[in-house]
Amino acid sequence: MKNTSLFRLAALCAISIVALSTLSTAAEKKESVKVWGNCGMCKKTIEGALKGVDGVTSASWDKKSKMLDVKYDDSKLTMKKIEEKVAASGYDTQNVKAADAAYDGLKKCCKYDRKKS
């Protein structure tokens, strides 16, 4: 009887220690940034630009609101870096403008109206 409750207590301690350590190491941040684009293909390209990027856990762009929701580990990369990755695929973001060559490479339907610079 006594042994089992002691074992339970030890197990509980072990579980809370594991839970605490994962909490402190995974510094996940959630941020939203505006990304210009038109359609479902834009969505694929924008989200695809962040797929497999180390530190980015999720990326979701909404074509109506033009907002990109990103979850990332801010010990691995910054929001600026994330925006640069998106811009490299041809899409202007709130803070980073895509290179003209990357924009020109987009499919016709994806050529969104750029703000005049």
Q: Which residues bind Cu ion (CB under 5 A)?
A: 38-39, 41-42, 110
CB of 39 to Cu ion, least distance (A): 4
Nearer to Cu ion by Cβ, of 9 and 39: the residue is 39
CB of 110 to Cu ion, least distance (A): 3
Closest CB to Cu ion: residue number: 110
SS3 string of 1-47? CHHHHHHHHHHHHHHHHHHHHHHHHCCEEEEEEEECCCCHHHHHHHH
For residue 66, the minimal CB distance to Cu ion (Å) is 12
Task: Give which of 41, 35, 43 is closest to 87, Cα–Cα.
Answer: 35
Please, which residue, 32 or 38, has the CB nearer to Cu ion? 38
Residue with tokens 């924008």: 46
